[in-house]
Every structure is written in structure tokens, then in C-alpha cells.
């Protein structure tokens, strides 16, 4: 065994194990979740599938407030996502202040006007037509909460040196998927809004230079007269190949 004493944290886990990996000490702790009986697995999976099928992207929100703690808990769920080298390269800005939401909407609509006026190109605009989107982003001020998700492209050491983060897009994408699931399962509606370019979000929210906006997720309840496009999801046999 290599000399592991130096790297041992002071409060070691009672059942920690030290193993050399490429000559370096690797510390692990036991993971023994109770195994779910098969019948329960099947019923949980089927129920979850049905609940997830009810999720829809919502663009028309009621201004009714949402329970802030439920949104914080959903963010806590998202922050359990696996990430490259467990670097957790994300920051979630929860914005409820009406003035900040108004500024975000104003800046987003400014960019989106340019996009819908031609920057996206005809093929892209045609692909969006079935979704009924345009440059008017009422959801940014109607929804009572916005979660602005930032990816940390790198981390800054105390002396200002930049250190690489790995698989940042994948990690943050997984976290946003978990966020949407958690919000939905908590009874809240959401939308992934990707104004482009998104630099204004860093400015409005005063985020540091290592963070880059990834998406804005408005959260709330659907408006009483909310309409959604009549989309059809691909059948399982169109998306699943079993080998």
C-alpha cells in the first residue's frame, strides 16, 4: 500500500476503504441500497412513465406564485446529477424579482427579434412553426420564477489560474433533464428557453466570467387558458433498439 495517511480526511468514514489506483490512494465507502423487489420495480417504472408522459412544455403561465421551497428542492435534485469528474459544473440562479425578470425578458426579446427576423434561417423557422414560437417571450415575466442555468466552463484557482472542467455540456444537460423531471413530479410546469446569444444573462445576473448561460427555465402553473401544440411522441419501438 502507498502511504495514504497524508491524504486521509480527518473525519474518515468508519467503513472507508483505501485502494491504490495507478499508485495513488483511492478512498471508497460502502454503497448498499436495499434492492427493490422486481414487482415493485415494474410498478414504479410503469407509473413513472405515465407521469412523465403528462409533462408538457408550457409557454403560457399563470402569474400565481409557486412554492419557492419546491423549486429549491427541484434544483437540489438537479444538483445530484452525475458530472464529468464529479466537478458539478453548474450554477442555478433562481430569479423571482419582477424587475430582474422584466430586464431578462426585454433583453431576450431583443435578441429573439433578430433571430425570428431572419438570423435563424428559413429551414429553422419552418421547423419551429409547429411549435408556435415567436419573439414574444411573455413567459419570462408571467412565470413567477425563472431558473437560469449556467455552466461553469472552467474553475478558477485562488491565484486566478483556470482549471479545466470535463464534459460540461453533457453534465449540465443531464442536470437540466433532472430539473425538468423534478419540477414536473412536484406539480410545476416549466419550459426550456434558449435565447441566443445569451450573454446578457451573465450581465443582468452579475455572474463571473467562468460561467456561461445554458438555458432559462421559467417555472409556474399553466395559465387557465394554456394551449400546447398537439405533438405526438415517437413510439418506444422508434427510439429503442435492443441488441
- Of 107 and 165, which has the nearer Cβ to ligand IYR? 107
HEC sequence for the chain = CCCCHHHCCCCCCCCCEEEEECCEEEEECCCCCCCCCHHHHHHHHHHHHHHHHCCCECCCEECCCCCHHHHHHHHHHHCCCCCHHHCCCEEEEEECCHHHHHHHHHHHHHHHHHHHHHHCCHHHHHHHHHHCCCCCCCHHHHCCEEEEEEEECEEECCCCCEEECCCHHHHHHHHHHHHHHHHHHCCCEECCECCCCCHHHHHHHCCCCCEEEEEEEEEEEECCCCCCCCCCCCCHHHHCCCC
The nearest distance, CB 58 to ligand IYR, in angstroms, is 13
Query: Contact positions toward ligand IYR, by CB under 6 A?
Result: 112, 128, 131, 133, 193-196
- Of 28 and 196, which has the nearer Cβ to ligand IYR? 196
The nearest distance, CB 57 to ligand IYR, in angstroms, is 9
- Of 36 and 131, which has the nearer Cβ to ligand IYR? 131
The nearest distance, CB 105 to ligand IYR, in angstroms, is 12
The nearest distance, CB 200 to ligand IYR, in angstroms, is 13
- Of 76 and 128, which has the nearer Cβ to ligand IYR? 128
- Of 61 and 83, which has the nearer Cβ to ligand IYR? 61
The nearest distance, CB 88 to ligand IYR, in angstroms, is 26
Which residue is closest to ligand IYR by CB?
133
Amino acid at each position: 500500500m502507498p502511504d495514504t495517511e497524508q491524504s486521509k480526511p480527518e473525519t474518515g468514514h468508519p467503513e472507508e476503504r483505501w485502494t491504490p489506483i495507478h499508485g495513488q490512494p483511492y478512498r471508497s465507502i460502502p454503497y448498499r441500497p436495499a434492492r427493490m423487489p422486481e414487482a415493485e420495480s415494474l410498478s414504479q417504472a410503469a407509473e413513472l412513465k405515465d407521469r412523465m408522459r403528462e409533462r408538457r412544455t408550457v409557454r403560457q403561465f399563470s402569474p400565481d406564485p409557486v412554492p419557492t421551497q419546491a423549486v429549491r428542492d427541484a434544483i437540489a435534485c438537479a444538483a445530484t446529477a452525475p458530472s464529468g469528474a464529479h466537478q458539478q459544473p453548474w450554477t442555478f440562479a433562481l430569479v423571482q424579482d419582477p424587475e430582474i425578470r422584466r430586464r431578462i425578458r426585454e433583453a431576450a426579446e431583443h435578441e429573439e427579434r433578430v433571430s425570428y427576423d431572419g438570423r435563424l434561417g428559413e429551414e429553422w423557422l419552418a421547423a419551429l412553426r409547429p411549435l408556435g414560437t415567436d419573439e414574444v417571450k411573455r413567459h419570462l415575466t408571467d412565470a413567477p420564477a425563472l431558473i437560469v442555468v449556467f455552466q461553469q466552463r472552467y474553475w478558477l484557482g485562488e491565484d486566478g489560474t483556470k482549471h479545466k472542467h470535463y464534459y460540461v455540456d453533457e453534465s449540465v444537460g443531464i442536470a437540466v433533464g433532472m430539473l425538468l423531471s423534478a419540477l414536473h413530479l412536484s406539480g410545476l410546469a416549466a419550459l426550456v428557453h434558449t435565447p441566443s446569444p445569451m450573454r446578457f444573462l451573465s450581465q443582468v445576473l452579475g455572474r463571473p466570467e467562468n460561467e456561461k448561460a445554458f438555458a432559462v427555465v421559467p417555472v409556474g402553473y399553466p395559465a387557465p387558458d394554456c394551449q400546447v401544440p398537439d405533438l405526438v411522441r415517437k413510439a418506444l419501438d422508434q427510439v429503442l433498439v435492443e441488441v
